[in-house]
Amino acid sequence: MISAKSVLKAIAVSFVLAGSAYAVSKIDLFGLESNSDRLADHVYQRVTAAEYGKARKGQQAVSVIYVDETSVETLKGFGWNRFPPTFDQQWLMLDDILNVGGAPPAAMFMDFVYLGQGGVAEGFDGFLQGIAGATRADVWADKPGCRTDPLIKIACIVEAGGVPMIFAKPSPADLEMFTEAQAAMDRVAVLAPALVAEDAYPLITSYDFDRAKAERLGVARFDISPALAMYAAWCVRRADGCGIAEFQELKRRAKAALAGGEAASPTFAKVFDAPLDVVWGSRPDPAFLTMTQAVSGHPAPCRTGAATWGDRLAEQMAGLRGPGEGARQECPYTLSLGYDRLVAGHGLEPQDLERLLAGRLVMVGGHFRASSDWVESPVHGQVPGVQFHAMALDNMIEQGANYRRNGEALLDSDLLESLLVAALAFCGVLGVMTRNNLLDKAKATGMEPRLRSAVYGPLYIVLFATSIGVVSFATWLGVTVANRSPINWIGITGVAMGFLFYATRQTLPADICGSLERSALARRLLAWGRLCFDSLKFEEDRLLPVRPPQTPPSIPIPETKAVPESPAHAQS
């Protein structure tokens, strides 16, 4: 039925279309393609956010302690009469977090950068001593093997019985500076570059600096992001090393390094081979809701979000979702507590503090409205940067080495999407050709009106639905099986639908009308609509006194008309 020439023609058409789509995506005119990519990812995440982290493994492990404008005002009652607070007060904050949970956290990340550019401030030495005591720097700091790279340093701290304390720093690739204050902190703690891109959270950043430059910038062969640093601290504490052999090896090497041997961390490049594409969950931690009620006296001022993907799909209509502010915004995913609430202790029971801090991965950061450290989350809208790090860490705990890779960073996703467009176009062209061949034969045998009404409408529905189904399946497959960020399903569906409508533009209206005319349901709906219209008209006429009375309308039954023959069927 389909000749080889037709197949070749379909291939040619599909590749022309795919080539055009590829060129458009690469040119990225006005940023339309990249924005479309981002929108496709955001909508996918919003719809599927309730499916993330059902076992709550990440929520059980990660907490955020924040400071915001309200905290600073409240903490004036506890001697914070300036901001930033004194080093003594800053250390007290860290000391509180280390101690009040009943057991120390598994690791801490401070999303504050200490550059010491104003000179070494009063109390800085005490601050350093406090950190050194927490990390047990007296055990590992003089061992060269423990200072080879940040991963083995973390493993050494854990092996020495300390709490890994990770501090933010600017990336040496962005800011070629390593101050005395940073060098001092690097001797007793771990520094991690914290300025990360929203669309690709880096895990390992390798540097090609020569030895002199690397020493000047205080970097090893590579740096690790805060989320990976915290995850490493989590995994080296676990007997199974999170199921990653390299973490087991890291533990062994840390022991050797503490014994005075030369050591470096094993290569993690294969395990963490691409940046993380942060997945946001929508179900808040139940502890967050109860603690909010306890410390503030009212329920959390946010919504807990729809529970199923179907409900969330319906929510995508902006009218239902609303502007996404106030009580209509979704609650934060990670359990979060203001430091001022911790200090005041009001409404908190010891078990709350234990739940929040003991053995947890605690991230400390600012929620200041006036700061620029906010990122755009597809599920929650604008969120403070520390919540972004916390969510990235949550992803790693939930998914381990199978975390969702950023598609753009791995391969040419535009090429893959163009190939999908080609496949869809090929099938679409063949489908249209088949339809036209059928029409030709039907005309020859005089069966055309019946065939058109019975077959072609459903054929189009199948054709279009299949295209949408293929795109949906490819999106789902890429995310769940290949652990990649979703393809640009909005763009691909748009291109495929546009092409199909274009290819069938001359015959589609007549075919659809023919099928509708044959449909009993459509006929009934038509009759019902006419009845309603006539009744309304009758009521209107009855209320007008000047008009002569009219007889009630009869209920007409539409006659089945023959489908007008189309002038000519289209060749695609």
Partner 1 sequence: MRKASLALLALIALPGAAFAETHGNVVKALRPQLRTFDEAGAPVGQIASKDLKLPAPIVGYGKGNSVGVKHGGGVVYLRGLDVQTDGKAACAPVQSAARAKSSAYAATNMGLGGGCERPQ
- At its nearest, how many Å lie between partner 1 and the CB of residue 296? 4
- At its nearest, how many Å lie between partner 1 and the CB of residue 470? 36
Site map 248..287 versus partner 1, x via CB under 8 A: ----------------------------------------
What is the spatial distance between Cα 432 and Cα 424, in angstroms, rounded to a whole number? 12
Please select the residue that binds partner 1; options are 169, 251, 380, 484, rule is CB under 8 A: 380
Q: What is the dihedral of CA 59, 65, 66, 72, to 10 degrees?
A: 150
Please select the residue that binds partner 1; options are 225, 292, 418, 493, rule is CB under 8 A: 292
The interface with partner 1 within residues 15-74 (CB under 8 A) comprises: 66, 68-70, 74
46 versus 380: smaller Cβ distance to partner 1: 380
What is the spatial distance between Cα 258 and Cα 29, in angstroms, rounded to a whole number? 55
The interface with partner 1 within residues 351-370 (CB under 8 A) comprises: 367-369
Q: Name the strand (E) or helix (H) holding 42.
A: helix 32-48
What is the spatial distance between Cα 246 and Cα 230, in angstroms, rounded to a whole number? 16
| Closest to 191 measured CA to CA, from 222, 215, 226, 156 | 226
| Closest to 38 measured CA to CA, from 391, 486, 497, 496 | 486
| Closest to 165 measured CA to CA, from 234, 230, 113 | 230
Site map 305..334 versus partner 1, x via CB under 8 A: ------------------xxxx--x-xx--
CA 252 to chain centroid, in Å, comes to 35
Measured CA distances, 480 to 48, 485, 486, 491 (Å)? 12, 9, 9, 20
The reply on whether position 374 binds partner 1 by CB under 8 A is: yes
- At its nearest, how many Å lie between partner 1 and the CB of residue 322? 10
* DSSP type of residue 330: B
**Terminal-residue alpha carbon distance, the chain:** 16
168 versus 337: smaller Cβ distance to partner 1: 337
Q: Give residue 323's identity as a one-letter amino acid code.
A: P
- At its nearest, how many Å lie between partner 1 and the CB of residue 335? 10
The reply on whether position 517 binds partner 1 by CB under 8 A is: no
What is the spatial distance between Cα 515 and Cα 452, in angstroms, rounded to a whole number? 7
Site map 105..124 versus partner 1, x via CB under 8 A: --------------------
The reply on whether position 83 binds partner 1 by CB under 8 A is: no
The reply on whether position 350 binds partner 1 by CB under 8 A is: yes
The reply on whether position 385 binds partner 1 by CB under 8 A is: no
φ, ψ of residue 448 in degrees (nearest 5): -55, -45
The residue ranges that bind partner 1 (CB under 8 A) are 66, 68-70, 74-81, 92, 96, 99-100, 288, 291-292, 294-302, 323-326, 329, 331-332, 336-338, 340-348, 350, 367-369, 374, 380-384, 387
